[in-house]
C-alpha cells in the first residue's frame, strides 16, 4: 500500500494505491488521523486500491468518525466495483460521499 | 591618603602577626639579633683578598626572612645587629666615636629599609610571604625583594661609609657594587633558606635524607675540586635540581646555600672556577654563579609546586566529577526503581483485568444438551477487545455473540465489557435480534467519548427448530457448514458496525441449521493473521479448514482452525485478538 497526500484548493487529497489489510492498517490509520486533524474537506482517491480487508475498513470508519465530529466532508472517489461492494455490504457507504473521480468529488465539495 | 596608607599597611603585613606580647617581642628581637650577629661573624670567613670583602652577606637574608615572617616588630634587632656588625671599623685608624656611631647608624637604617622594601615588594606584587609556589613570585623575589631592596641598602651604606671618610672617592663605585650585590646574594640565598625551613620546620625522613646527601655530595665535589684543582663546579647543578625535585624549597635552598658556602670558601683559597685575575673579578664571578643557581633552583621548585597544584586541582575536579556521576547514577537507579514499581503495579492491574475479562467469557457449555458449543479467545496483548458470549434467552432460544471492538488494550477491553453487558441485558428482555442491535447501536453511539466502535454478530438459535436469526453489524462473514460437507460464507447484509451511525435500522437474516450442521463465528484476527512474508491467512484458508473438519466436533473444528492459524503465522507476533465460536445443532436423540 502507498498513500500520497496532496491539496486541491482547500481540500486534502489522499491517494491510496495497493491492498489495504491488517499489515498496513496501522499506518493508514495514523495517516488518516493526521489528515483528519486538519481543517478542510477530504477526498480519498481509491482508484488504485484493489482490495480492502476488514482491518482496512476500520481506518475508513475512524476517518469518517473523526471527520464527522468536525463537520468535515469525506468523499471517496474512483473506487472499483469490488471495493464498492465491500463498502456496501459493510454498511459503510452512508458514511461517505461517493464520486466516480477525484475531479467530480472536488467540484461537488461544499465551498 | 587613607588608600595609600591602607595599601602600605597591607603590603607590610607579615606572615605572623601573633603573638604580640611585649615579652615575645623581646625574645623575637633577641633571637633575630643573635642570628644576625652570628651570620655577620661568618662574613669574616668569607672575606676575599686583604680587604676581606665578602661576596655574600648572610645577615641581610636573615633580616629579610625575619621581616617577612614577623613584620616590622623585629626591625630593632635588624638595626642593632647591623650596628654591631660594624665592629671591623674599630680597626680603622680614622675611627672616632662620632663617625663610628654615624656610619653604623647609616648602615643600620639602610638594613631596615632593605627589609621593609623586600617585604613590601613580595607582599604587594606577589601577595605572598615566600616565593616557592609560583614562578612569577620567584622573579618578584629576586628582582624586587633581593636586587631592588639591596640596591637601596647598598646606596645608603656606601654613602654612610664615604661621608664618614671610611671609603675614599676612588673606591665608592666598587664599594657600592660589592655592598649591593653581597646583600642581594645574602637575601636570595640565606633569606630563601630561612623562609623555606620556617615554612616547613619539621623535616620528614625524605628531607633528612636529601639534606644529608646534599651536604655530603657538596663536600665531596668541593673535596674533588680542592684535590684535583680542576674547576668542577658545574657538578653542583644536577645536585641542586635533584634536591629541588626531591624535597622542594627546603632541598633546593639548602643545596644552594651549601654550594654557595663551599664555592665562596674555595674561591677565598684560590680554588675553583671563580678565581679571577683580581679580587673584585672573583667576587663578581661568584655573584653571577650565585644568581644563576638561586634563580634556577627557586624556579625549579616553583614550577614543580605549580604542577603539583594543577595535579591536585585536577584530582579534586575528578573527585567532584566522580561524586556527581555517582550521585546521578544513584538518582537514575532510584527513578528506575520507581518506574519499575509503577510498571509492576500496571502489570498487576493488567493481570487483574485479564482475569476479570476471562471470567465474563463463558467456558462451560456442558449444560446445553441440544447444542454443541466450543469457544476460544486469545488476546494479542494482556487484555482483549474481542469477546464471545453464549446465554440462554428462554427455554428454547440461545443467544450467541461474537464481537470485535476497534483498537486493542485497556480501552478496547473496557468498551468490550460495556458492549457485552449491554447486549446481554437487551437480549434477555426478549426483543428480536435486529431490535436488540438497533438499541445497542444507539446506546454505544451516544455513550462513546473516544469514538470507538464494535463489529458484532448477534444470533438467536431456536434449539427446537434450528432456526437461526442473525444480525451481522459490520463483522466478518460467518461460515455455515452443511450436512453435505460444504462450507459457505453467509454474506453481509449492509449493516454498519455498532457505534458508527445513529438511528440505523439493522437488517437480520434467518436460516435453518440442520441436525449436525455447524455455524462458525470468528473475528478478523483469524482471517487477517499474516505469515513471516506478510501474506494473509485469508478467508479462503479458513473455508478450506472448515470444509476438511466438517465431520468433526465443534471443539475439534476450533482446534483445527486455531492450529492452522498458529502454523501459518509461526515466527510472527500475534497482531490481533483471535476469537472463534462454533455452534453445532446436535442430532435429536430419542425424538
By C-alpha distance, the chain B residue nearest A87 is B494
CB-CB contact of B132 with B305 (8 Å): yes
pLDDT at B178 over 60: yes
User: Chain A contact for B532, CB < 8 A?
Assistant: no
CB-CB contact of B403 with B419 (8 Å): yes
Determine the Cα–Cα distance for residues B433 and B454; give it in Å rounded to an integer: 16
pLDDT of residue A65: 82
pLDDT of residue B337: 95
The residue ranges of every structural domain in chain B are 1-197, 367-585
Q: pLDDT tens digits, residue range A20-70?
A: 887 788 888 888 888 888 878 889 999 999 888 877 888 888 888 888 778
pLDDT of residue B324: 95
- Residues in chain B within 8 Å Cβ distance of A21: 528, 530, 536
Q: pLDDT tens digits, residue range B82-133?
A: 998 888 788 778 888 888 899 999 999 999 999 999 999 988 888 888 888 8
pLDDT at B474 over 70: yes
Q: Please, what is the average pLDDT of chain B?
A: 89
Compute how many other C-beta atoms are within 10 angstroms of the C-beta atom of residue B125. 17
Determine the Cα–Cα distance for residues B474 and B500; give it in Å rounded to an integer: 10
- Residues in chain B within 8 Å Cβ distance of A65: 451, 453, 500
Q: What is the ipTM of this complex?
A: 0.87
pLDDT at B43 over 80: no
pLDDT of residue B50: 62
> Does 1.10.3470 match the CATH number of domain B1-197?
no
pLDDT of residue B62: 94
Measuring CA to CA, how many Å separate A24 from each of A46, B180, B532?
15, 98, 14
Q: Are A91 and B451 in contact (CB < 8 Å)?
A: no
Q: Which of B494, B528, B536 sits opposite A91 (nearest CB)?
A: B494
Determine the Cα–Cα distance for residues B496 and A12; give it in Å rounded to an integer: 26
pLDDT of residue B591: 42
Q: Which of A53, A65, A66 sits opposite B528 (nearest CB)?
A: A53
pLDDT of residue B374: 95
Measuring CA to CA, how many Å separate B407 from each of B383, B385, B547?
11, 7, 31
pLDDT at B1 over 60: no
Nearest-Cα distance to chain B for A88, in Å, is: 6
Nearest-Cα distance to chain A for B495, in Å, is: 4
β-pairing verdict for A74-77 and A42-52: parallel
pLDDT at B377 over 70: yes
Determine the Cα–Cα distance for residues A49 and A78; give it in Å rounded to an integer: 9
Q: pLDDT tens digits, residue range B425-458?
A: 999 998 999 999 999 999 999 887 667 889 999 9
Secondary structure (3-state) at B281: helix
Measuring CA to CA, how many Å separate B336 from each of B42, B325, B347, B349, B569?
76, 16, 16, 19, 36
Determine the Cα–Cα distance for residues B376 and B205; give it in Å rounded to an integer: 88
pLDDT of residue B174: 87
pLDDT at B210 over 70: yes
Q: pLDDT tens digits, residue range B490-548?
A: 988 889 999 988 889 999 999 999 999 999 999 988 998 888 887 888 899 999 999 98
User: Chain A contact for B476, CB < 8 A?
Assistant: yes
pLDDT of residue A111: 65
pLDDT at B61 over 50: yes
B377 forms beta bridges with B579
Q: Which of A57, A69, A94 sits opposite B501 (nearest CB)?
A: A94
The residue ranges of every structural domain in chain A are 2-106
Percent with pLDDT over 90 in chain B? 58
User: Chain A contact for B122, CB < 8 A?
Assistant: no
User: Chain A contact for B536, CB < 8 A?
Assistant: yes
Mutant choice from B386, B404, B406 vs A, greatest count of A C-beta within 10 A:
B406
pLDDT of residue B118: 93
Secondary structure (3-state) at A46: strand
Secondary structure (3-state) at B489: strand
Distance of CA A4 to the CA centre of its chain: 12
CATH number of B367-585: 3.60.40.10
Q: B85 Cβ partners below 8 Å, 6+ apart?
A: B36, B37, B40, B43, B59
Compute how many other C-beta atoms are within 10 angstroms of the C-beta atom of residue B553. 14
By C-alpha distance, the chain B residue nearest A62 is B451
Compute how many other C-beta atoms are within 10 angstroms of the C-beta atom of residue B426. 20
Nearest residue to B474 via CA among A27, A65, A58, A74 = A58
Measuring CA to CA, how many Å separate B119 from each of A20, B73, B122, B210, B486?
93, 13, 6, 29, 117
CATH number of A2-106: 3.30.750.24
User: DSSP of B161-187, one letter per residue?
Assistant: HHHTTSS-GGGHHHHHHHHHHHHHHHI
Both ends of chain A: CA-CA distance in Å? 31
Q: Which of B500, B524, B529 sits opposite A61 (nearest CB)?
A: B500
Determine the Cα–Cα distance for residues A32 and B69; give it in Å rounded to an integer: 86
CB-CB contact of B128 with B137 (8 Å): yes
pLDDT of residue B52: 65
User: Chain A contact for B474, CB < 8 A?
Assistant: yes
Adjacency order of strands within the sheet including B397-405: B386-392, B397-405, B454-462, B467-473, B508-512
Amino acid at each position: 500500500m502507498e498513500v500520497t497526500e496532496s491539496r486541491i484548493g482547500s481540500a486534502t487529497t489522499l491517494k491510496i494505491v495497493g491492498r489495504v489489510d491488517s499489515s498496513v492498517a496501522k499506518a493508514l490509520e495514523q495517516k488518516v488521523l493526521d489528515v483528519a486533524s486538519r481543517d478542510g474537506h477530504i477526498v480519498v482517491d481509491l482508484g488504485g486500491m484493489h482490495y480492502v480487508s476488514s482491518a482496512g475498513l476500520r481506518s475508513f470508519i475512524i476517518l469518517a468518525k473523526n471527520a464527522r465530529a468536525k463537520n468535515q466532508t469525506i468523499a471517496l472517489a474512483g473506487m472499483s466495483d469490488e471495493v464498492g461492494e465491500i463498502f456496501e455490504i459493510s454498511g459503510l457507504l452512508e458514511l461517505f460521499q461517493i464520486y466516480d473521480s477525484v475531479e467530480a468529488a472536488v467540484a461537488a465539495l461544499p465551498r | 591618603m587613607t588608600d595609600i596608607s591602607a595599601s602600605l599597611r597591607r603590603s607590610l603585613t607579615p606572615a605572623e602577626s601573633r603573638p604580640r606580647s611585649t615579652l615575645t617581642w623581646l625574645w623575637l628581637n633577641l633571637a633575630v639579633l643573635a642570628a644576625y650577629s652570628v651570620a655577620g661573624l661568618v662574613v669574616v670567613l668569607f672575606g676575599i683578598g686583604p680587604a676581606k670583602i665578602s661576596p655574600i652577606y648572610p645577615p641581610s637574608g636573615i633580616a629579610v626572612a625575619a621581616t617577612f615572617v614577623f613584620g616590622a616588630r623585629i626591625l630593632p634587632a635588624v638595626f642593632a645587629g647591623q650596628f654591631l656588625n660594624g665592629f671591623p671599623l674599630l680597626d680603622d685608624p680614622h675611627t672616632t666615636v662620632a663617625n663610628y656611631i654615624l656610619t653604623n647608624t647609616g648602615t643600620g637604617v639602610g638594613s631596615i629599609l632593605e627589609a621593609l622594601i623586600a617585604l613590601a615588594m613580595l607582599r604587594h606584587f606577589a601577595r605572598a610571604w615566600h616565593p616557592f609556589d609560583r614562578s612569577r613570585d620567584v622573579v618578584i623575589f629576586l628582582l624586587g625583594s633581593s636586587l631592588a631592596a639591596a640596591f637601596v641598602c647598598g646606596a645608603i651604606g656606601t654613602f654612610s661609609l664615604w661621608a664618614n671618610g671610611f671609603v675614599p672617592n676612588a673606591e665608592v663605585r666598587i664599594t657600592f657594587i660589592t655592598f649591593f650585590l653581597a646583600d642581594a646574594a645574602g637575601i636570595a640565598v640565606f633569606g630563601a633558606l630561612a623562609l623555606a625551613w620556617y615554612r616547613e620546620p619539621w623535616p620528614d625522613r625524605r628531607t633528612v635524607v636529601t639534606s644529608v646527601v646534599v651536604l655530603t655530595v657538596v663536600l665531596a665535589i668541593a673535596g674533588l675540586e680542592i684535590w684535583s684543582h680542576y674547576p668542577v663546579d658545574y657538578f653542583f647543578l644536577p645536585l641542586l635540581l635533584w634536591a629541588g625535585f626531591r624535597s622542594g624549597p627546603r632541598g633546593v635552598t639548602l643545596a644552594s646555600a651549601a654550594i654557595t658556602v663551599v664555592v665562596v670558601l674555595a674561591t677565598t683559597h684560590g680554588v675553583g672556577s671563580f678565581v679571577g685575575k683580581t679580587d673584585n673579578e672573583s667576587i663578581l664571578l661568584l655573584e653571577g654563579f650565585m644568581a644563576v643557581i638561586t634563580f634556577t633552583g627557586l624556579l625549579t621548585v616553583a614550577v614543580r609546586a605549580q604542577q603539583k597544584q594543577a595535579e591536585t586541582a585536577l584530582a579534586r575536579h575528578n573527585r567532584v566529577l566522580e561524586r556527581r556521576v555517582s550521585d546521578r547514577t544513584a538518582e537514575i537507579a532510584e527513578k528506575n526503581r520507581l518506574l519499575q514499581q509503577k510498571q509492576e503495579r500496571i502489570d498487576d492491574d493488567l493481570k487483574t483485568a485479564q482475569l476479570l475479562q476471562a471470567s465474563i467469557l463463558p467456558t462451560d457449555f456442558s449444560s446445553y444438551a441440544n447444542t454443541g458449543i466450543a469457544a476460544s479467545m486469545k488476546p494479542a496483548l494482556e487484555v482483549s477487545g474481542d469477546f464471545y458470549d453464549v446465554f440462554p434467552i428462554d427455554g428454547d432460544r440461545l443467544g450467541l455473540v461474537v464481537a470485535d471492538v476497534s483498537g486493542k488494550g485497556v480501552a478496547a477491553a473496557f468498551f468490550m465489557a460495556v458492549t457485552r453487558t449491554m447486549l446481554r441485558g437487551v437480549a434477555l428482555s426478549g426483543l428480536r435480534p435486529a431490535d436488540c442491535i438497533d438499541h445497542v447501536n444507539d446506546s454505544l453511539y451516544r455513550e462513546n467519548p473516544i469514538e470507538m466502535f464494535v463489529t458484532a454478530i448477534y444470533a438467536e438459535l431456536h434449539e427446537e427448530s434450528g432456526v437461526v436469526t442473525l444480525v451481522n453489524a459490520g463483522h466478518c462473514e460467518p461460515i455455515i457448514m452443511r450436512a453435505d460437507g460444504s462450507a459457505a460464507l453467509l454474506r453481509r447484509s449492509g449493516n454498519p458496525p455498532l457505534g458508527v451511525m445513529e438511528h440505523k435500522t439493522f437488517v437480520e437474516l434467518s436460516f435453518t441449521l440442520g441436525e449436525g450442521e455447524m455455524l462458525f463465528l470468528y473475528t478478523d484476527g483469524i482471517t487477517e493473521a499474516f505469515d513471516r512474508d506478510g501474506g494473509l491467512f485469508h478467508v479462503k484458508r479458513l473455508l478450506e479448514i472448515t470444509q476438511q473438519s466438517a465431520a468433526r466436533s465443534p471443539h475439534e473444528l476450533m482446534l483445527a482452525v486455531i492450529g492452522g492459524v498458529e502454523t501459518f503465522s509461526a515466527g510472527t507476533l500475534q497482531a490481533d485478538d483471535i476469537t472463534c465460536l462454533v455452534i453445532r445443532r446436535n442430532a435429536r436423540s430419542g425424538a
